[in-house]
Amino acid sequence: MSTELGSRQRGAATKRKRTILKVIEAASFLFDAHGWYGVTRDDIAREAEVGVATINNHFITKQVIALASYFSMLKPILALADEESDAREALIDFVTELADVTTTLPVLTIALLPATRDVTRCGDETRSPSVEVELIDFDQLAECLGKLLENYGTTEYYGGANLTEVAELYLSGLLSGVLKHPDRSGEDAAKLLLSQLL
C-alpha cells in the first residue's frame, strides 16, 4: 500500500514540476514579447493552458512569476560572486553582470524592484507557496552585494552600517537608473555604480 502511495506522490510531484515549467516558459515568452505591463496572470494561464487558480497555487504574484522565469539569468551572477578569490574583481564582476542582465531584460528589472512587491498578498510569507519554484529576488542580490562590499573592506567607510542595507540602496539606484535611462548600456550602468562603490 505504501508503495502505491509513493508512486502517486511521485506522479503528483512530476505533474507539479511540469505545470510550473509550463507556466514559466509561457511567462518568459509573453514577457519577452509584450513586456511587464502587457502581460497579465490571465494571459500567462491561457498561454500555459492552465487555470488561473493553478497559477495561484504555485506563484503568489506576477513578480514571483517573472523572477522564476528569469532565475537562470540571475543564478550565475550569484555563483560568480562566490567563485572569485579577489574581492575587488568579485565586486566588479557582480555589478557588471547584473547591470548587463537588467539593461537587457526590463521585465526582470521591474520584478526585482521592491516596489513591485504585492505587500497585501505576500506580507512576510515565503516568496512562493510552491517549494519547486526557484527564484532570486532583490533581497538575495542585496545580501550578496553586501557580502561583496564587506569582503572588499568597506565596512569602516560606511561607519559600521549594515552593508546589506547599504547594498539595498545601491541596488535600488541601479535598477531605477536602468528603468529611467533605457538607452544606457549595461556597461555604462555598471561603470556608474562601480564609480560609487570603489
Q: Residues 92-148: pLDDT tens digits?
A: 999 999 999 999 999 999 999 987 665 434 444 434 555 678 889 999 999 999 999
Domain 2-60 has CATH 1.10.1040.10: no
Residue 53 pLDDT: 93
Residue 100 pLDDT: 97
Residue 129 pLDDT: 53
Q: Residues 50-83: pLDDT tens digits?
A: 999 999 988 989 999 999 999 999 999 998 877 7
Residue 120 pLDDT: 36
Residue 5 pLDDT: 58
Q: Which of 180, 179, 170 is nearest to 145 (CA)?
A: 170
The long-range contacts involving 162-169, CB below 8 angstroms and separated by at least 24 positions, are: 167/142, 167/143, 168/114, 168/138, 168/142
Q: Residues 2-27: pLDDT tens digits?
A: 455 577 777 777 888 899 999 999 99
All 3 cell numbers of residue 55?
A: 497559477
Residue 126 pLDDT: 39
Q: Residues 149-188: pLDDT tens digits?
A: 988 887 777 777 889 999 999 999 999 999 999 999 999 9
Residue 8 pLDDT: 77
CA distances, 171 to each of 41, 44, 79, 80, 131 (Å): 27, 29, 18, 17, 26
**pTM of the full structure:** 0.84
Q: Which amino acid is at 78?
A: L
Residue 73 pLDDT: 94
% of the chain residues with pLDDT over 90 = 63
